[in-house]
Amino acid sequence: MAACKCFFDVAIRLPSLLENKAGSLPKLCGVNLGFIMSKQNTNCNNVHVSSGQRGELYN
């Protein structure tokens, strides 16, 4: 959840960052959140880390 919040906070502070580019931020940093990041539709409170060390998004 911490990585999700970090990337989301960066993404929303960059108004020129296009939605499709926001999704590539974690990958560019070598982080696998386990889902595609979205500037508009990501709720980091719903992200949980499984024993496999990747994020899982629960609706």
Structure tokens at 37: 């990041």
Residues in the chain: 59
Q: Can you give the pLDDT of all 59 residues of the chain as single tens digits?
A: 777 788 778 877 887 777 777 777 778 778 777 777 777 777 888 876 554 444 444 43
Contact indicator for 35, 27 with CB cutoff of 8 Å:
no
Res 49: pLDDT = 59
CB atoms within 10 A of CB 24: 13
Domain range list for the chain: 2-57
